[in-house]
Structure 1
Amino acid sequence: MSLKQRVYLANAVLLGITVMGAIAMIWYTYKTEDLFTGIVQRHIPMYQAAEALETSLLNQKGYLSYYLLDKNPEWLRQLADFKLDFESQLALAKPLVTKDWEKEALAGIESVYKTYIAAKDRVVTLYEKGEPGAGAALHREVRSNFFKIYELCEKFKTAHKKDIELTVEESHSDARNLRYIGLLAIVTVVLLSLLINYIFTRHILGPIRKLAAEADQMGDGRVSGNELAALKSSVHGLIENAEQTHAELVRSRESLMQSEKMALVGQLAAGTAHSIRNPLTSIKMRLFSLGRSTKLSQDQHENISVISTEIGQINKILENFLEFSRPPKLTMKAQSPSQVVDNTLRLLEQRLKSYGVTVRLVRSKPLDNVMLDAAQFKEVLANIIINACEAMEKGGRITITETMDNVNTDRDTAVIRIQDTGPGIPATIQGEIFNPFFTTKDEGTGLGLSICFNIISEHGGCLVLDSQEGQGACFTITLPAGEDLHGKNSDH
């Protein structure tokens, strides 16, 4: 039986017992109401009527005896009143009878009573006529009828008294049975409640706690308090971890694709550069020889100069191709990146002035030492700063901010942000600026930022762009601190 079926069955039995108990209680109330209605409406009035008949009969006998003793007519008047009372009680009892024996009993009482009254009236008449002997003889017959009526009334009263006792006993018996049923229902409900609690704890709450503990990867594996809230929090944590893992996977895939693309392009660039560089060197030497051995006009000298300059530009492009085609060879050394920033700014001081660019350095203290290749890192900084100068055609300001950060990683990182006041980079091309051969300059090769990206990646760091069009561009360099990268890069 499945967990769902077990829970449903236990709840169904519990509900059934509750409903049956309620039905039994309602049934008992109706039955008790019927029993006591019968007692109040039938048995007690009939019992009282039989008792009233006996009382009236006894009073009649007494007042008759009083009259026979002193012949006082007042006793006859009161005897007449009790005679009317007996007849009245008999009339009240008749509508209450429903059973055959009750009807027969009342009919017998009425029949004997009529004989009794007739004989009693004759006794009174004989005594009034002065015939006491005949009256005394008839009085013995009256006495016999009296005892017969009294016996019938007593039987009628006893029968209803017994009915009242039986009804009360039946009520007590039903109450006892109802108490037994209630006790049994309470025990059953308690057992079923314990069973439901056991099922809930063992098969629902227990697995939820275990699942929440297993899902709580960042905690100590213990779940307390609200299990559902803990499970919800843990599941949200798993979702966030999954999203982070997915994002990292996407970045890794993009990085792998870019690396494969760069390797392919690098092989092509290396082969092309070697094939073109030798003829260019020969052409440059012949132009130099031609310029020295031949008398040329001013225009011809200018043409040769332009050709030499263009050949130099082509040679520079080929050198970039060759540099891009092979991974940078890093010579790692523990050093503060702040020192490399200072050296780069001193090196570019005159060039910054020529562009009309000022530099603001925000630094509370020098950055901690990291493992880096100072020459390669200086090339990255120079490339980014020169690109910023070229983007700010009418001058501007570059802000370099240095901080140590450990918010997004489990160890410290050195962070350098280079922010310019240029026009910014459009959002449509921000995803392509680190791709090889992508450039917006007329004379650019599109390899500068790709080389910078590779150098920072070889350092185990990250180079990220943040730019909004019209609000300048910010390049953020992060380098891991506190980890020896020399062994990692010793084979470069």
Structure 2
Amino acid sequence: MSLRQRVYLANAVLLGITVMGTIAMIWYTYKTENLFTGIVVRHIPMYQTAESLENSLLNQKGYLSYYLLDKNPEWLRQLADFKLDFESQLSSAKPLVTEEWEKETLSRIESVYTTYIAAKDRVLTLYEKGDPGAGATLHREVRANFFKIYELCEKFKTAHKNAIDLSVEDSRSDARNLRYIGLLAIVTVVLLSLLINYIFTRHILEPIRKLAAEADHLGEGRVSGNEMAALKNSVHGLIENAEQTHAELMRSRESLMQSEKMAIVGQLAAGTAHSIRNPLTSIKMRLFSLGRSAKLSQDQQENISVISTEIGQINKILENFLEFSRPPKLTMKKQSPSQVVDNTLRLLEQRLKSYGVTIHIVRSEPLDDVLLDAGQFKEALANIIINACEAMKKGGRITITETMDSINKNRDTAVIRIQDSGPGIPVSIQDEVFNPFFTTKDDGTGLGLSICFNIISEHSGCLVLDSQEGQGTCFTITLPAGEDVHGKNSDH
């Protein structure tokens, strides 16, 4: 049977025993009520009536003899009182009888008693008329009737006494049986309770406990004495881990898509670079020679200058293609990123002044040394800072914050946050800013931030964008610190 069927069966048997025990108790109460009703309503009153009849009959014994001895009428008066009492008891017993033998017995008692009273009256009459011989003979007959009445009353009383005893014995027997049933029910309920506890412990709680322990191990849940609470916490931990894993998977997927795009762009750049750069170089040299040898008007010189500038722009685009398509060959060396930040700012000093941008560095102390390629990292920093300057068209402020954070469990992480006071990046395009060829500038190539992303990724770091419209943009660079952070070396 399945676990559900076993649990249902045990509960059904337990419920059945409880219902049967309840029915037995109710049945016993009704039976006991009937027994005691019969005893109290019928048998005891009838027993008391029979006993009263015996007493009234016994009280009548001897009064006639006492009167014949001393002729005192008081004896006859008392005898008359006991006669009335006997007749009254007999009359009160008649409405109580329900069975035929009871009616027959009372009828015989009444009949013999009537004969007994009539005979006593004749005995008295014979003695008063002076016929003591006949009176004595009849008197013996009266005594015989007396004992017959007494025997009938005793029989009537004994029958009801036996009925009372039988009812009491039936009640005791039912009580014993009920106790046995109750004891059996208790034992059965205890055994079933133990069985249910065993089933729940072995087949429900124990698997839940093991599952909670396993989930604690996998989901880093908090251990608790309550299995359900522990399982709940563990499942929450698993959900959190799953969310983190999903986030990492999405980042890996984005990186894979980025790599695929880079491969496509690399093929495109490699195919176009050799075909375009040589003719452009030749055109630029001919224009330079033409500008020096020919006598050109002012407008013609301006046109040649514009053409030369545009050729330079095309050449710049080709260089960006080539740089984007070929992963940078890093020359890794232990160095503080703070030093690279300072070198970059010195390099861009004049350009920052031309944009009207001020730089504010938040640094309690230089960042710890990490393995990095200073040239490539400087290029990524310069690209981010120049993008920020171009976004702040009327000048502004760039804040560079450097900290050492414990983001990774195994090592510290160098964090550089570059925050500008520009207009911010709309939410609708934030997911695309690192995509190749995506740009909002009229003369942009859309490869600057993609190159920055690739450089930081090659350093086993992470580049994250955080921006709100009207509140500026923040690029956060994280670089792992330690000896074995990259799994890469200077052979990149």
TM-score, normalized by the shorter chain, greater than 0.5: yes
The amino acid across from 1:52 in the alignment is S
Please list, as runs of the form range in 1=range in 2, the aligned pairs for 1:391-402 lying within 5 A after superposition: 391-402=391-402
- Please state how far the C-alpha of 1:490 moved relative to its aligned partner: 4.0
Partners of 1:406 and 1:413 within 8 A in 2: yes
Alpha-carbon contact 2:407-2:413 (below 8 Å) kept: no
Deviation string 1:239-258 (CA, Å, 9 cap, x unpaired) is 22222222322222222112
Match of 2:355 in 1: 355
1:254 corresponds to: 254
State the partner residue of 1:420.
Answer: 420
Scaled by the length of structure 2, the TM-score of the pair is: 0.96
Tell whether 2:83 aligns with 1:83: yes
Q: Specify the alignment match of 2:205 in structure 1.
A: 205
In the TM superposition, residue 86 of structure 1 has moved relative to its aligned partner by: 0.6
Partners of 1:179 and 1:409 in 2: CA distance: 69
Deviation for aligned residue 1:305? 2.5
Partner of 1:67: 67
Could you say which residue in structure 2 is the equivalent of 1:215? 215
Number of matched pairs: 492
Q: Which moved more, 1:85-94 or 1:194-203?
A: 85-94
Q: CA deviation at 1:82?
A: 0.8
Cross-structure match for 2:340 = 340
Instruction: State the AA in 2 paired with 1:333.
Output: K
Q: Secondary structure at the match of 1:399?
A: strand
Mean CA deviation greater in 240-249 or 80-89? 240-249
The answer to whether structure 1 residue 21 and structure 2 residue 18 are counterparts is no
Deviations 1:321-375 (A, max 9, x none): 1111100111111111111111111221222112111111111222122111111
Are 1:266 and 2:274 an aligned pair? no
**CA deviation after TM superposition for structure 1 residue 410, in Å:** 5.1
Could you tell me how far apart the structure 1 residues matched to 2:76 and 2:411 are? Answer: 127
Q: 3-state DSSP class of the match of 1:397? A: strand
Tell me if the contact between 2:219 and 2:235 (Cα under 8 Å) persists in the aligned partners. Answer: no
Match of 1:40 in 2: 40
Q: Deviations over 1:56-75 (max 9, x none)?
A: 01111132232222211111
2: distance between equivalents of 1:223 and 1:193? 29
- In structure 1, what is the equivalent of residue 367 of structure 2? 367
* Aligned-partner residue type, residue 282 of structure 2: S
CA contact (8 A) 2:411 2:481 kept: yes
150-159 vs 109-118, greater mean Cα deviation: 150-159
Q: Does the CA-based 8 Å contact 1:266-1:321 persist in structure 2? A: yes
AA of the residue aligned to 2:27:
W
Counterpart for residue 127 of structure 1: 127
- Taking the aligned partners of 2:59 and 2:469, their CA distance within structure 1 comes to 125
Aligned to 2:236: 236
Query: What is the SS of the residue equivalent to 1:216?
Result: helix
Return 374-383 or 287-296, whichever deviates more. Answer: 287-296
Per the alignment, in what secondary structure is the counterpart of residue 429 of structure 1? helix
Write the distance in 2 (CA, Å) between the matches of 1:228 and 1:466: 40
How many Å apart are 1:264 and its aligned residue? 0.6
Counterparts of 2:107 and 2:234 in 1: how far apart (Å)?
A: 90
Shift of 1:486: 6.1
Q: CA deviation at 1:489?
A: 4.4
The aligned residue for residue 327 of structure 1 is 327
Identity within the alignment, %: 88
SS at match of 1:225: coil
1:169 aligns with 2:157: no
Provide structure 1 residue ranges, at least 5 long, that are not aligned to the other structure: none
Q: CA RMSD in A?
A: 1.8
Deviations 1:358-414 (Å, cap 9, x if unpaired)? 111111222122111111111111111111111111111001111122246653211
Cα deviation 1:165-219 (Å, max 9, x = unaligned): 1111111111111111110000000000000000011111111111112222357
1:474 lines up with 2:464 in the alignment: no
Query: Structure 1: which amino acid aligns with 2:283?
Result: I
Q: CA deviation at 1:109?
A: 1.0
1:213/1:222 contact within 8 Å kept: no
Aligned position for 2:147? 147
Distance 2:200 2:222 in 1: 19
Tell me, in whole angstroms, the C-alpha distance in 2 between the residues paired with 1:155 and 1:222: 86
Report what 1:278 is aligned to: 278
Q: Counterpart in 2 of 1:188? A: 188
Report deviation, 1:128: 3.1
Equivalent in the alignment of 1:389: 389
TM-score calculated relative to the size of structure 1: 0.96
Hey, what's the Cα distance between the residues in 1 that align with 2:18 and 2:68? 73
Q: 1:222 to 1:327 in 2, by over 3 A?
A: closer
Query: 2-side partners of 1:129 and 1:145: how far apart?
Result: 23
Cα distance in 2 between the residues matched to 1:438 and 1:409? 35
| Distance in 1 between residues matched to 2:241 and 2:299, nearest whole Å | 69
Kept in 2, the 8 Å contact 1:332–1:486? The answer is no
Structure 1 residues 490 and 145, CA gap change in structure 2 (3 angstroms): same
Letter of the aligned partner of 2:248 in structure 1? E
1:483 Cα offset (Å): 4.2
